[in-house]
Amino acid sequence: MPRDVLILSTREPELAAFVDAGAGIAPDLRVRTLENGAVTEIVDRRGSAVLSVQGPEFVENVAEVARLAPRASADGPLWWTEAWAPWGADGDVGIAIARAFAAAVGAQVIVEDGS
């Protein structure tokens, strides 16, 4: 079971921002899409995903965000982006990419990994 990653942002995340974050962490990674673009994966040279990102959803109900993600600090409507990273070194790269993306766009990232 992969680690769940939640990215909460006030502006809609763009694929280019994830690609830029990935390039800053590990320039040899590539991007592929699955399910007609519903999921974007950042993969290594072997084709193994280090981060899988579902398309973002706009959430206007702040109470629902608080219910589903109690660790979130939401002050208003936001973009809810779910992602997954494997355990181990490959997943650590994916988590670093998610955090770099969040820092670049002023988003909050919550990693559900028991830490």
First to last CA, the chain: 16
Question: What is residue 115's predicted lDDT score, i.e. its pLDDT?
Answer: 47
Distance CA 96, CA 80 (A): 18
Q: Provide the residue range defining the domain that includes 27.
A: 3-112
Please count the structural domains in the chain: 1
Question: What is residue 109's predicted lDDT score, i.e. its pLDDT?
Answer: 93
Helix (H, G, I), strand (E, B) or coil at 50: strand
- Give which of 97, 115, 91 is closest to 22, Cα–Cα: 97
* Local structure of residue 87 (DSSP, 8 states): S
Q: Kind of pairing, strands 39-43 and 108-112?
A: unpaired
Question: What is residue 114's predicted lDDT score, i.e. its pLDDT?
Answer: 55
Q: Cβ–Cβ contacts within 10 Å for residue 74, how many? A: 18
Residues of the chain where predicted confidence (pLDDT) is lower than 70: 114-115
Place of tokens 């079971």: 1
Q: Could you tell me where the DSSP H helices lie in 26-88?
A: 62-68
Question: What is residue 5's predicted lDDT score, i.e. its pLDDT?
Answer: 95
CATH of the domain at 105: 3.30.310
Distance CA 49, CA 90 (A): 8
Q: How much is the pTM?
A: 0.87
Question: What is residue 16's predicted lDDT score, i.e. its pLDDT?
Answer: 81
